[in-house]
Amino acid sequence: MKIVIDAMGADKAPGVEVEGAIQAIQEFGYDLILVGDQAKVEAELAKHNFKSDKLSVVHASEVIEMHDPAAISVRRKRDSSSVVGMDLLKKGKADAFVSAGNTGAVVCAATLSLRLLPGIERPGIAIRIPVLTGTSMIMDVGANIDPKPMHMLQYGIMADAYCKYILNKEKPTIGLLNVGEEESKGTEFIKDSHTLLSESKLNFIGNVEGRDIYSGKADVILCDGFVGNVILKVSESVIDTLMLLLKREIKSNFIATLGAVLASPAFNELKKKMDYSEYGGAPLLGVDGRCVICHGSSSAKAIKNAVKFAGESIKQDVNKHIVEELESY
Amino acid sequence: MKIVIDAMGADKAPGVEVEGAIQAIQEFGYDLILVGDQAKVEAELAKHNFKSDKLSVVHASEVIEMHDPAAISVRRKRDSSSVVGMDLLKKGKADAFVSAGNTGAVVCAATLSLRLLPGIERPGIAIRIPVLTGTSMIMDVGANIDPKPMHMLQYGIMADAYCKYILNKEKPTIGLLNVGEEESKGTEFIKDSHTLLSESKLNFIGNVEGRDIYSGKADVILCDGFVGNVILKVSESVIDTLMLLLKREIKSNFIATLGAVLASPAFNELKKKMDYSEYGGAPLLGVDGRCVICHGSSSAKAIKNAVKFAGESIKQDVNKHIVEELESY
């Protein structure tokens, strides 16, 4: 079992990737390949004085930056860490690929290199989120910012398979994110997606609203990648802002400060539950291979957990189940 | 100064509207008109044993429900509280209109009755939100779920005027909500909106992301009404979920419970800051009249604060400033 890591993806690359990789080898014993600027990666490895036959480095001379247009840069920067890493996966030299790089570029490289599963027109990122009742999924959170209704149906089928076979939910409920519960609400894109989902075999519960996401009303929330991206970033921002404001309020009051110290184990437990870095990465579903997409601002811990998640994905082989589901349509 | 209230709009109508109206008369001394089912409104008034020459009731036999399609119901339900209330405003019998009803229908009724300001093609809802640095605005949050780039420019101009003349910000920063900061990111709609805003006289700071909203990076965040609706509802949901989870964690630990009691003044202060009902309603900008849109789940307090806000809007006369700004283009 071999996992390839794009070492140049994160905002703090390659430091967090190298540190995350070292932690993953120590904790899980996976074989890892770091792809990126060899000199920079080895300089980071030297900092940790780490050597292991479980880790190899493959040189890639280019980097796709966050501001690079996705499709063009994947075609032009053939020696970038994302493209070289994906090619290792394609050639069977690795079983999964992890990247915190330019999401659009990783999605594009995966689509071109690995190809799509039969019946899938566009891949999508499915992310697990903590909700009041346990865990739900949002799909898509940024692979496809301008999807067609047919893509939403395909996302529904893939997320359904993921929930059934990986999260062990028996009859996952599928909701379509909209501005209201009523069928008459929404754009033409939403109304057409609603029709397709209603006519499918999925356990489609209709429209859900932004307020329903964290209550756990649906096991899967379907939305376009633009809206999904906004949901994730706004959620993080609200949590960070609340914590900052609360700290400010507490600091201005001595008794409250004492109270906060006493209540801190509860805060820490909550923080852990809401911390995306505990979850690591999110699977890119729809490509014929295993791709894990990480947050650009990933920490070493987030990379380590993404590698752990990639290892689990190899064992679970969700694509087999997705293909079976698709064939039944 | 007379304000008309749609008494049949909120989820808990007409109870919250009647109670909110009574509170507003007692606190601010405004003259109010409640429009709705006379028998039901008077039954609510009787509960409070309230009589005042500052309050009158105008009967409307119909109600536009949340599931009614907006444009059709405004044309068909001519005797609905939203349409009758808007007509009172149009005929000059009131100076502002407040409603917690079907947003699409209120927007449609306002557009048909009051007409649009010269140069405006679609009205939009501009909401003030508490951010780390003070107050920002999001526009649009639900009037126009499928806007054109030109509407975004018009929203920018209106929100800019609102910030300058009502919130007294000297050179408001205007941001466009996108999935990344880079100009190359986003849908064609976003890219075209970006171009129009860049070429305008506005203090346009480019793309902002979901994570920037509550940090106060921009005084105005422009987005389509679908995304704006999702932002508001997700934000509320995250806050509610965090508070619930925190309560659960705290209850499971005696010391943490003691701590939480001591820290409760800080919690309450924070809750007040984040509580939308303190803000009341949001102005519908772009129509030739003063319309305040409230949350469907408004409490009596939220209605009272929306009436207070409507009273302030009458004094401020933001439309005069918007028209002047538009003329300079």
pLDDT tens digits, one per residue of B259-290: 777 777 777 777 777 676 677 899 999 999 99
Locate A218 and state its tokens. Answer: 């649906």
- Cβ(A100)–Cβ(A93) below 8 Å: no
Position B276 scores a pLDDT of: 66
The average pLDDT across B110-137 equals 94
Convert the pLDDT of each residue in A184-213 to its tens digit: 889 999 999 999 999 999 999 999 999 999
| Closest listed residue to residue B238, CA positions, set A70, A6, A213 | A213
Position B282 scores a pLDDT of: 94
Residue B249 and residue A266: Cβ atoms within 8 Å? yes
Q: What's the CA gap between A185 and A206, in Å, rounded? A: 11
Q: What's the CA gap between B34 and B4, in Å, rounded? A: 6
pTM of full prediction above 0.90:
yes
Q: Which chain B residues are within 8 Å of A264, Cβ to Cβ?
A: 256, 259
8-state DSSP, A153: H
Q: What's the CA gap between B175 and A166, in Å, rounded? A: 40
Of the listed ranges A131-135, A240-244, A281-285, B316-320, the least confidently predicted one is A240-244
B211 → closest Cβ in A211, A237, A273:
A237
Adjacent-strand bridge partners of A204: A174
8-state DSSP, A257: H
Question: What HEC string does chain B produce?
Answer: CEEEEECCCCCCCCHHHHHHHHHHHHHHCCEEEEEECHHHHHHHHHHHCCCCCCEEEEECCECCCCCCCHHHHHHHCCCEHHHHHHHHHHCCCCCEEEECCCHHHHHHHHHHHHCECCCCCCCEEEEEEEECCEEEEEECCCCCCCCCHHHHHHHHHHHHHHHHHCCCCCCCCEEEECCCCCCCCCCHHHHHHHHHHHCCCCCEEEEECHHHCCCCCCCEEECCHHHHHHHHHHHHHHHHHHHHHHHHHHHCCHHHHHHHHHHHHHHHHHHHHHCHHHHCCEEEECECCCEEECCCCCCHHHHHHHHHHHHHHHHHCHHHHHHHHHHCC
Residue B255 and residue A262: Cβ atoms within 8 Å? yes
- Cβ(A219)–Cβ(A169) below 8 Å: yes
A10 HSE (CA, 13 A, CB side): 25
Q: What's the CA gap between B285 and B291, in Å, rounded? A: 8
A234 → closest Cβ in B210, B253, B265:
B210
Position A276 scores a pLDDT of: 67
B261 → closest Cβ in A146, A236, A259:
A259
User: Which residue type occupies B57?
Assistant: V
Phi then psi for residue A94, to 5 deg, are: -150, 165
A230 → closest Cβ in B142, B210, B250:
B210
Q: B293 CA to chain A: closest CA distance, Å?
A: 16
pLDDT of B299 > 80? The answer is yes
Of the listed ranges A23-27, B55-59, B232-236, the least confidently predicted one is B232-236
Residue B230 and residue A259: Cβ atoms within 8 Å? no
Residue B238 and residue A239: Cβ atoms within 8 Å? yes
* A89 three-state secondary structure: helix
Residue B260 and residue A255: Cβ atoms within 8 Å? no
- pLDDT-based confidence at B257, cuts 50/70/90? confident
pLDDT of B247 > 70? The answer is yes
- Alpha-carbon separation of residue A62 from A3, A169, B139, B183, B195 (angstroms): 20, 42, 40, 22, 30
Q: Which chain A residues are within 8 Å of B180, Cβ to Cβ?
A: 66
Burial letters for A34-65: b for 16+ Cβ neighbours within 10 Å, e otherwise?
bbbbeebbeebbeeeeeeeebbebbebebbbe
A233 → closest Cβ in B104, B184, B209:
B209
pLDDT of B167 > 80? The answer is yes
The CA-CA-CA angle for residues B159, B160, B161, to 5°, reads 90
8-state DSSP, A282: E
Q: B329 CA to chain A: closest CA distance, Å?
A: 30
Rounding to the nearest 10 degrees, give the CA dihedral for residues A9, A13, A15, A20: -20
Q: Which chain A residues are within 8 Å of B256, Cβ to Cβ?
A: 262-266
For B43, residues 6+ apart whose C-beta sits below 8 A from its C-beta are: none
Residue A266 and residue B258: Cβ atoms within 8 Å? no
Among A234, A264, A267, A270, which would you mutate to test the B interface (most chain B Cβ atoms within 10 Å of its Cβ)? A234
> For chain A, how many helices (H) and strands (E)?
12, 11
Q: Which chain A residues are within 8 Å of B209, Cβ to Cβ?
A: 233
Q: What's the CA gap between B289 and A293, in Å, rounded? A: 49
Q: A269 CA to chain B: closest CA distance, Å?
A: 7
Q: Which chain B residues are within 8 Å of A146, Cβ to Cβ?
A: 187-188
Residue A259 and residue B255: Cβ atoms within 8 Å? no
Position A150 scores a pLDDT of: 98
Whose structure tokens read 């070493």?
A300
Q: Which chain A residues are within 8 Å of B193, Cβ to Cβ?
A: none
User: Which residue type occupies A241?
Assistant: T
Helix (H) or strand (E) holding A284: strand A282-285
Among A72, A73, A133, A214, which would you mutate to test the B interface (most chain B Cβ atoms within 10 Å of its Cβ)? A214
Q: B257 CA to chain A: closest CA distance, Å?
A: 7
Q: A309 CA to chain B: closest CA distance, Å?
A: 25
Return the residue of B nearest to A184 by Cα: B69
Convert the pLDDT of each residue in A245-287 to its tens digit: 778 877 777 777 877 777 777 777 777 776 766 778 999 999 9
Residue B233 and residue A210: Cβ atoms within 8 Å? yes
Q: How many A×B Cβ pairs under 8 Å?
A: 194
Return the residue of A nearest to B66 by Cα: A182
Position B274 scores a pLDDT of: 66
| Size of chain B, expressed as the number of residues it contains | 329
Residue B273 and residue A245: Cβ atoms within 8 Å? yes
Q: Which chain B residues are within 8 Å of A132, Cβ to Cβ?
A: 241, 244-245
Position B240 scores a pLDDT of: 83
The average pLDDT across B227-231 equals 96
**How far is Cα of residue B23 from the mean position of the Cα atoms in its chain?**
20
| Closest listed residue to residue A236, CA positions, set A325, A146, A302 | A302
* A60 three-state secondary structure: coil
Whose structure tokens read 């921002």?
A237
Burial letters for B226-253: b for 16+ Cβ neighbours within 10 Å, e otherwise?
bbbbbbbbbbbbbbebbeebbeebbeeb
| Size of chain A, expressed as the number of residues it contains | 329
Residue A180 and residue B66: Cβ atoms within 8 Å? yes
Residue B180 and residue A213: Cβ atoms within 8 Å? no
Convert the pLDDT of each residue in A118-143 to its tens digit: 999 999 999 999 888 889 999 999 99
